[in-house]
């Protein structure tokens, strides 16, 4: 009964709460279509269309002032779905841009992850998970290897973990999950 009552209180609060316009980014009756929201370093980043462009630009909102175009995040070579395929690791926001894995520290312009390997990971970068302080993700090189599982430790070149589907075929590993935190809470009877 208590769960039902809490659910009803929460639902009624949502129903009767007031929705407030934060900003009219594309002024007038046009839609700015804000989407792909990512919280990073105390700011909310999102993609939206303004009256000056037809493509999505990256905006930032601090929760107090009106959203503004993110000067640093809009310096990267545009890549569709930058924020859709982003992930926070090691106090940096990682995403695919500039022809490879790129990071933003919240202060300086985004930087490409240094990759001096003969075959740098430069395509299909997405679907991240952190395990043992290493960032794992789907990626692809300019070689005969398809889309496979890679790892980045924050210091060394991103490395191929396994060519799961050998040759030009792709295993396309998606939605990796680390179960480390679950194992810490296991109970045995």
- Condensed to tens digits (0 to 9), the pLDDT of residues 146-174 reads 888 899 999 999 998 988 888 777 877 77
For residues 87, 93, 95, 98, the Cα torsion angle rounded to the nearest 10 degrees is -170
Task: Give phi and psi for 153, each to the nearest 5.
Answer: -95, 5
Q: Please count the other Cβ atoms lying within 10 Å of the Cβ belonging to residue 82.
A: 25
pLDDT digits (tens, 9 = 90+) for 107-138: 888 888 988 887 888 888 888 889 899 999 98
State the average pLDDT for the chain. 77
Question: How high is the pLDDT of residue 158?
Answer: 92
pLDDT digits (tens, 9 = 90+) for 10-34: 333 455 567 787 887 777 777 777 8
pTM of the model: 0.73
Which residue bears the tokens 């009767």? 16
Q: What is the mean pLDDT of residues 60-82?
A: 78
Token pair, residue 140, equals 């692809």
Per-position DSSP letters for 122-182, written without gaps between them: EEEEEEEEEETTEEEEEEEESSS--SEEEEE-SSSPPEEEE-SS-TT------S----HHH
Share of the chain above pLDDT 90, in %: 15
Q: CA angle, 101 as apex, 135 and 88 as ends, to 5°?
A: 45
Which residue bears the tokens 């009756």? 29
């Amino acid at each position: 009964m208590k769960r039902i009552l809490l659910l009803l209180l929460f639902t009624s609060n949502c129903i009767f709460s007031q929705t407030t316009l934060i900003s009219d980014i594309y002024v007038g009756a046009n839609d700015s279509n804000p989407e792909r929201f990512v919280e990073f370093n105390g700011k909310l980043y999102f993609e939206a269309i303004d009256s000056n462009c037809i493509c999505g630009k990256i905006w930032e909102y601090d929760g107090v002032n009106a959203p503004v175009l993110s000067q640093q995040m809009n310096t990267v070579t545009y890549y569709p779905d930058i924020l859709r395929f982003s992930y926070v690791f090691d106090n940096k926001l990682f995403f695919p841009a500039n022809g490879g894995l790129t990071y933003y520290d919240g202060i300086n312009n985004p930087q490409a992850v240094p990759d001096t390997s003969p075959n740098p990971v430069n395509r299909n970068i997405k679907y991240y998970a952190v395990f043992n302080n290493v960032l794992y993700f789907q990626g692809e090189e300019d070689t005969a290897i398809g889309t496979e599982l890679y790892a980045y430790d924050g210091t060394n070149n991103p490395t191929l973990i396994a060519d799961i589907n050998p040759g030009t075929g792709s295993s396309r590993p998606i939605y990796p999950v680390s179960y480390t935190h679950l194992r810490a809470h296991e109970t045995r009877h």
